Amino acid sequence: MNQSLTQDQKMLLQTHYNERVALIKKVVEEVNGIVEEYRNTREKTVKNLEDILAKKSLRHTDFANMISDLVEMQSDREEEIREMLREFMKTTEQIASRLEDLLKEPDVKKFKRFIAKVREQQKKKKIEIGKMIGQRLDDTECNMQAFLEEFKNERVALNLEWEKLKEEKERLGHISLLPNLSL
């Protein structure tokens, strides 16, 4: 049994892999576009919320202080995604380069070992990414709950202050500030 690849098989494998690399590059570009679109949407949403809350007597600075941690956390995650994509592209390009080198050799066993190794690395990476995403979701949920609790407390404090001001106004409304002037 012949254990070497024919030139046509090598060319087919290389072409197929190059097509996959090109597809992956396209996906990476699309994900970067989605991340950028999400960032823009988030910024618009934050601005809209800030304007709405400012109209309800919550100052812009109060809102900015409350939301800044969430925005910073989200920006950090966007950078993590971009870094993961860069690492993914680098790994894919390294695999493509190694594949080209292997296709120059007639040893099918080396090629099969390489493919098995790549598959094992992909499985490990998939598990690692799944765990990381799960942790990020948990972190996001905790941060959102803390943000909402802080917002609720601010709102309660503002309502209490508002009620105190209304009571003070009513109390002062019954007291005449002008002396009784009779001529």
Give the 3-state secondary structure percentages of the chain, helix then strand then coil, rounded to 5.
85, 0, 15
Q: What is the pLDDT of residue 180?
A: 53
Separation of alpha carbons 68 and 148, rounded Å: 13
Q: What is the pLDDT of residue 81?
A: 81
User: Which helix or strand (DSSP H or E) is residue 157 part of?
Assistant: helix 108-173
Q: What is the pLDDT of residue 44?
A: 85
Tokens encoding 49: 């919320």
Separation of alpha carbons 107 and 52, rounded Å: 68
Query: Residue 131: how many CB atoms within 10 A of its CB?
Result: 10
DSSP string, 96-132: HHHHHHHHHS--HHHHHHHHHHHHHHHHHHHHHHHHH
| pTM exceeds cut of 0.75 | no
Which residues, 6 or more positions from 38, have their beta carbon under 8 angstroms from its beta carbon?
Answer: 78
Which residues, 6 or more positions from 74, have their beta carbon under 8 angstroms from its beta carbon?
Answer: 39, 42
**Series of mean pLDDT values for 10-residue runs along the chain (183 residues):** 66 80 83 83 80 66 72 82 83 82 77 86 83 77 77 80 83 60 46
Could you tell me which of 89, 84, 50 has the C-alpha nearest to residue 66? Answer: 50
